[in-house]
Amino acid sequence: MSLRQISAHVHVETAHLGSNNSIVVGTEGLALVDTPHRPTDAMAWRKTVDGFGTTRFVVNTDHHPDHTIGNFWQGGEVVSHRGTRERLLHEAPSHDYLAGLFARIDPEAVALLDTYRVRVPTVVFSDALDLHLADVHLELSFQPGHTANSLIAYVPEDGVVFTGDIVCEAGLPSFQDSRLWDWFDAIEEVASYDFDVLVPGHGEVADRGVLERYRDWGREVVGQVADAIGRGVDREQASAEIRFPDNIHVDTEDYVGYPDDLIEMFQRRSIERIYEDLRERPDLAAR
Ligand SMILES: [Zn+2]
């Protein structure tokens, strides 16, 4: 693993399969940002985290399993936008889905499913919420983008911004829960923060330069879909033909990634989402 201190109060693990997992260390306890996808990583993470102090808050940047499954094994109160709680209450992956997924990405975890429960956020907000740990604090702001219930977390004392999957350094995530206008607006919103260090949802810790790169990746796939629409290609055909690199769910040096059929489904749904949003707002092809 590769836990690294990136500022006076913040430590980040970027090598887990799934989201980046962060620890904000204050004199009055810890706040975590996103939790490990694999249960065995989540259990090991709890031990690592406990070495820094007592967890008071666990922030989920969205409801996706790769950011929330590990909640179950952490301490403190889970905090999110209210939409994240709703989606975890009503749309969390089924036991069967998880059993199939863990058999591939974390075989030891299949046996843990008997006791596993979705741990939903108990502290939720609509627009903004600050979490104080004495010498350092987090400012959480609702920001639809990657999902309709995403948030940006900001540590002003350290000039660190956590974007969740609003910005990924590793590559484009799924668009299936995004609306395209929010997707671009959210990147602009991140750009308006005063920060030196950006902790993305997936990939390496970055600086401001990642924003332009990331926007360009998005523009490229959006441009391909716009082009297909312009040629009269229908939604089904476009979603069968257009692909972007998935660097988020695939195998890594240390891990077995998602099965091909799931990766294929994310891609298809992503292109369908972009296609529909471009039909509604063709001007977005020029962003
Ligand atoms: Zn993610």
Q: What is each CA distance from 34 to 104, 110, 261, in whole angstroms?
A: 22, 22, 26
Burial class (CB in 10 A: 0-12, 13-18, 19+), 69: buried
Q: How far is the CA of 22 from the centre of ligand 1 (A)?
A: 14
Q: How far is the CA of 84 from the centre of ligand 1 (A)?
A: 13
**Cα–Cα distance, 27 to 100 (Å, whole number):** 41
Q: How far is the CA of 174 from the centre of ligand 1 (A)?
A: 8
Q: How far is the CA of 196 from the centre of ligand 1 (A)?
A: 22
Q: How far is the CA of 38 from the centre of ligand 1 (A)?
A: 13
Q: How far is the CA of 50 from the centre of ligand 1 (A)?
A: 24
Q: How far is the CA of 19 from the centre of ligand 1 (A)?
A: 5
For residue 107, give the amino acid letter: P
Q: How far is the CA of 20 from the centre of ligand 1 (A)?
A: 8
pLDDT for the residue numbered 287:
80
Q: How far is the CA of 258 from the centre of ligand 1 (A)?
A: 13
Q: How far is the CA of 248 from the centre of ligand 1 (A)?
A: 8
Q: How far is the CA of 65 from the centre of ligand 1 (A)?
A: 8
**Cα–Cα distance, 58 to 143 (Å, whole number):** 18
Neighbouring CB atoms inside 10 A of 14's CB total: 21
Q: How far is the CA of 64 from the centre of ligand 1 (A)?
A: 6
DSSP assignments along 97-116, one per residue: HHHHHHHHH-GGGGGGGGT-
pLDDT digits (tens, 9 = 90+) for 247-281: 999 998 889 999 999 999 999 999 999 999 999 99
Q: How far is the CA of 77 from the centre of ligand 1 (A)?
A: 21
Residues 235 and 276: beta-carbon distance below 8 Å: yes
Q: How far is the CA of 141 from the centre of ligand 1 (A)?
A: 18
Q: How far is the CA of 231 from the centre of ligand 1 (A)?
A: 32
pLDDT for the residue numbered 234:
98
pLDDT for the residue numbered 206:
98
Q: How far is the CA of 2 from the centre of ligand 1 (A)?
A: 18
Q: What pairs with residue 129 in β-bridges? A: 140
- Tell me the Cα Rg of the chain: 18
Q: How far is the CA of 232 from the centre of ligand 1 (A)?
A: 32
pLDDT for the residue numbered 94:
94
In degrees, rounded to 5, the angle at the alpha carbon of residue 156 between the alpha carbons of residues 154 and 162 is 25
Among 205, 57, 75, 35, which residue's Cα sits nearest to residue 130?
57
Q: How far is the CA of 18 from the centre of ligand 1 (A)?
A: 6
Q: Which residues of the chain are modeled with pLDDT < 50?
A: none
Q: How far is the CA of 76 from the centre of ligand 1 (A)?
A: 22
pLDDT for the residue numbered 286:
83
Phi and psi angles of residue 9, each rounded to the nearest 5 degrees, phi first: -115, 0
Q: What is each CA distance from 195 to 13, 23, 25, 206, in whole angstroms?
A: 19, 18, 18, 11
Among 235, 64, 24, 220, which residue's Cα sits nearest to residue 145?
64
Residues 208 and 159: beta-carbon distance below 8 Å: no
Residues 204 and 132: beta-carbon distance below 8 Å: no
Domain coordinates of the chain in residue numbers?
4-208
May I ask the CATH class of domain 4-208? alpha beta
Q: How far is the CA of 36 from the centre of ligand 1 (A)?
A: 10
Q: How far is the CA of 281 from the centre of ligand 1 (A)?
A: 26
Q: How far is the CA of 202 from the centre of ligand 1 (A)?
A: 6
